[in-house]
């Protein structure tokens, strides 16, 4: 154990030397002070491996030193666990090391004492806090990724259940995040370490087979490199040729995605050609394509069209020596640096001077150049995701944005839109603007009208057709693949539902005010907002519409002098007209016998109008053949769901006998031109002989009815009882069908299912 401690002490001196090697003006005193403080605060704490805890922040700092980051970042790495795992506070860090380092360390500290129900919610809330801190200072991200990398490198010392959880979190969030930030080497190492933990058997098999393949292809790789260098020399192009082997997890993912074997992969080995200038990249491409035949469909130019994480390179595959497929990546030295180190490659040291050159105590900060698209993308992502209502939604949308590769499409005006692979025109519309997505009704892809669920391909020109009256259907949420689109659709539907509940609440209050001889006014509600614990009139209307605020409470708050009526004692009544009318009077509802053939039903009633299946109010019909226009109906308020419409003779209403406050006065208001069909159920008992079902279906079809489903409920030797789900215009239409069936000789009885 002493040896381990001495090694940690030595690593501190090595760390300072490494930082000074790339930044001679680094604040050595700051680094030593940070190390001593971290060692003191962590004291005798041990890691799961048994090593002193200080070994972890030292290794994290060493990873960041390899990226040549500033002394404030290195100091923050040394201190990153002090607030979370020791008695140190943010105020202590600010006092000893300054607010800059204090802010970095605080951004890396998990939220303490979270009152959250699930581990997923806790994980999401901590990740939300981290991303917010990252948008203020990207160094928070760099320290966090280095912290996670070292934890993954030492994961074998952690207990198995925690090991699996950390590996899954790394695979789901941190590895893709590193990739989105352009730090490819970091992403690949994290993925491989996670893969080894989550699927050790597959990892072991792949590593063994790759070793065998490496030995057998040793001569081939050298031959390909020599051939490439020879051709480039002939063309007088100065370039460095590097071979690289695909990582086990990348191979596994491709095998899984394409359902192919290891032997069928053509890009296990790739070659990178590094040149000085962008123009040289295209010169190399010309030389390679002239010498060897290109593989169709395997060419991508990310120099003219960079990825969102700033990645630039030309990709091509040719049939090279020995007729082997050779994958090439052609890029400049600068592009190669960005491809490997991402946002860390954009780091600049900005020195603050006092006019006389450098001073001993100068402050250095790490900034990003304006070309850092990856960081701008991250800011946009966080701004968009923070609009979510809960942390789990935030985490879900983050994963959507992180995981997908890209596809590039164009607007009719030539604007380039980068989307996740598998994106649809709906995703495209929301990428253009949220209002365009919300009003989208159709699309044209390359000039042709196509379905909105069409998967977009690279180079597609997409024109979005819009309508001001459109509201995005909730089903779109299952079609889109981008977090922005999913979040916007969810918000739009919540707002549309809120508007529906608001309309319903206004209808309920208007009639409640009428019943006590008062007129509903917005000013009246505004006056009593504090008594109702609501912020706005819209909040009141929505709460009433959702059934969360009884209309009686609003009346009592508005007119305290009006006595609050006691809910009447409900009595069980028989299912006949007098009984049901007695029931309606007991609960203050107004019903009238619908006129024959009148689709408006309770015409003249003061109830809330029911206009059809697609109402602007949150109204639904009871299952199993609910009411049809012409039926006497009643509405039952369910908190959070709106009103459910029942026919007044439905047996299901007995469940609400002791809840009169939930009964709502409703009436039909169906326009004669309405094309909605309403569901109804009938029970038909017919003779058990061939052709009976055909005659029943023929009768229903000739009457203009639509059969949705048929279920044989009971069968004897002579008769069969069928439950038939129908779609009809109204009660008159349904009665015509029932009369027609009764006239059939093969039919014994017909009745509505709930009668």
Which sequence positions are flagged as catalytic? 84-85
CA dihedral defined by 260, 262, 263, 267, rounded to 10 degrees?
90
Residue located via tokens 């699930």: 118
CA 191/CA 178 separation, integer angstroms: 10
Half-sphere exposure at residue 242, Cβ-oriented, CA atoms within 13 angstroms: 13
Give me the numbers of helices (H) and strands (E) for the chain, helices first please: 29, 23
CA 334/CA 492 separation, integer angstroms: 43
Token pair listed for 10: 């030595």
Other Cβ atoms less than 10 A from the Cβ of 368: the count is: 15
Q: What values do phi and psi take at 644, rounded to 5?
A: -105, 130
The residues, ordered by sequence, that sit 6+ positions from 258 with a Cβ below 8 Å of its Cβ are none
Closest CA to 663 of 501, 503, 508, 513: 508
3-state secondary structure 5-61: HHHHHHHHHHHHHHHHHHCCCCCHHHHHHHHHHHHHHHCCCECCCCCECCHHHHHHH
Closest CA to 141 of 181, 82, 97: 181
Which residues are paired to 216 by β-bridges?
A: none
CA 692/CA 600 separation, integer angstroms: 35
The residues, ordered by sequence, that sit 6+ positions from 525 with a Cβ below 8 Å of its Cβ are 509, 537, 540, 541, 554, 558
CA 721/CA 685 separation, integer angstroms: 4
Closest CA to 62 of 25, 35, 97: 35
End-to-end CA distance of the chain: 83
Half-sphere exposure at residue 544, Cβ-oriented, CA atoms within 13 angstroms: 27
């Amino acid at each position: 154990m002493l040896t381990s401690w001495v090694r940690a002490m030595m690593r501190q001196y090595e760390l300072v030397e490494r930082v000074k090697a790339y930044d001679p003006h680094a604040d050595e005193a700051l680094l030593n002070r940070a190390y001593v403080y971290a060692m003191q605060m962590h004291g005798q704490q041990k890691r799961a491996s048994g090593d002193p805890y200080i070994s972890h922040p030292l290794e994290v700092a060493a990873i960041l030193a390899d990226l040549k980051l500033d002394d404030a970042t290195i100091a923050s790495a040394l201190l990153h666990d002090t607030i979370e795992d020791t008695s140190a506070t943010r105020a202590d860090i600010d006092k000893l090391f300054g607010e800059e380092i204090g802010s970095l360390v605080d951004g890396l500290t998990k939220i303490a004492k979270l009152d959250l129900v699930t581990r997923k919610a806790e994980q999401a809330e901590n990740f939300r806090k981290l991303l917010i801190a990252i948008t203020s200072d990207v160094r928070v991200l760099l320290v966090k990724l280095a912290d996670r990398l070292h934890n993954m490198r030492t994961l074998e010392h952690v207990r198995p259940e925690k090991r699996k959880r950390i590996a899954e979190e790394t695979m789901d969030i941190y590895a893709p995040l590193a990739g989105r930030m352009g730090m490819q080497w970091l992403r690949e190492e994290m993925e491989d370490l996670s893969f080894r933990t989550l699927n050790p058997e597959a990892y072991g098999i792949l590593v063994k087979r790759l070793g065998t393949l490496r030995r057998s292809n040793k001569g081939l790789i050298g031959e390909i490199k020599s051939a490439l260098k020879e051709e480039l020399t002939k063309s007088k192009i100065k370039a460095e040729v590097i071979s690289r082997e695909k990582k086990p997890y990348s191979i596994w993912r491709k095998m899984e995605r394409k359902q192919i074997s290891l032997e069928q992969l053509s890009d296990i080995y790739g070659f990178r050609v590094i040149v000085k200038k962008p123009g040289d990249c295209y010169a190399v491409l010309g030389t390679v394509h002239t010498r060897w035949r290109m593989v169709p469909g395997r060419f991508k130019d990310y120099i003219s069209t960079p990825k969102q994480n700033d990645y630039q390179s030309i990709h091509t595959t040719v049939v090279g020596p020995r007729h082997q497929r050779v994958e090439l990546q052609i890029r400049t030295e600068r592009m190669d640096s960005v491809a490997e180190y991402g946002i860390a490659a954009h780091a600049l040291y900005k020195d603050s001077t006092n006019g006389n050159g450098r001073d001993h105590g100068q402050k250095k900060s790490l900034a990003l150049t304006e070309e850092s698209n990856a960081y701008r993308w991250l800011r946009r992502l966080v701004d968009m995701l923070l609009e979510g209502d809960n942390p789990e939604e935030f985490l879900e949308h983050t994963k959507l944005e992180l995981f997908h590769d890209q596809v590039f499409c164009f607007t009719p005006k030539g604007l380039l839109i980068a989307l996740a692979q598998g994106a649809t025109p709906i995703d495209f519309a929301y990428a253009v603007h949220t209002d365009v997505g919300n009003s989208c009704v159709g699309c044209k892809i390359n000039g042709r009208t196509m379905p909105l669920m069409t998967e977009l391909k690279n180079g597609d020109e997409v024109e979005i057709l819009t309508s001001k009256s459109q509201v995005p259907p909730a089903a779109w949420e299952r079609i889109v693949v981008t977090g922005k689109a999913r979040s916007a659709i969810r918000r739009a539907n919540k707002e549309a539902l809120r508007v529906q509940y608001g309309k319903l609440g206004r209808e309920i209050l208007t009639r409640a005010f009428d019943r006590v001889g008062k007129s509903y006014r917005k000013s009246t509600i505004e006056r009593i907002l504090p008594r109702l614990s609501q912020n706005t009139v819209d909040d009141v209307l929505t709460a009433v519409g959702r059934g969360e605020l009884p209309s009686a409470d609003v009346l009592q708050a508005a007119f305290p002098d009006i006595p609050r009526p006691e809910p009447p004692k409900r009595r069980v009544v028989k299912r006949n007209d007098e009984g049901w009318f007695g029931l309606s009077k007991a609960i203050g509802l107004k019903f009238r016998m619908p006129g024959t053939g009148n689709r408006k039903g309770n015409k003249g009633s003061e109830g809330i109008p029911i206009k059809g299946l697609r109402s602007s109010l949150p109204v639904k019909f009871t299952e199993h053949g609910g009411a049809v226009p012409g039926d006497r109906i009643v509405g039952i308020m369910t908190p959070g769901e709106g009103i459910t419409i029942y026919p007044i003779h439905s047996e299901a209403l007995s469940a609400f006998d002791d809840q009169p406050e939930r009964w709502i006065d409703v009436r039909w208001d169906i326009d004669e031109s309405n094309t909605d069909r309403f569901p109804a159920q009938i029970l038909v008992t017919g003779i058990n002989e061939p052709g009976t079902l055909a005659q029943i279906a023929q009768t229903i079809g000739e009457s203009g009815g639509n059969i949705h489903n048929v279920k044989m409920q009971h069968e004897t030797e002579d008769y069969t009882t069928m439950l038939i789900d129908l779609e009809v215009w109204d009660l008159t239409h349904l009665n015509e069908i029932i009369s027609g069936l009764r006239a059939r000789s093969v039919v014994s009885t017909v009745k509505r299912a709930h009668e």
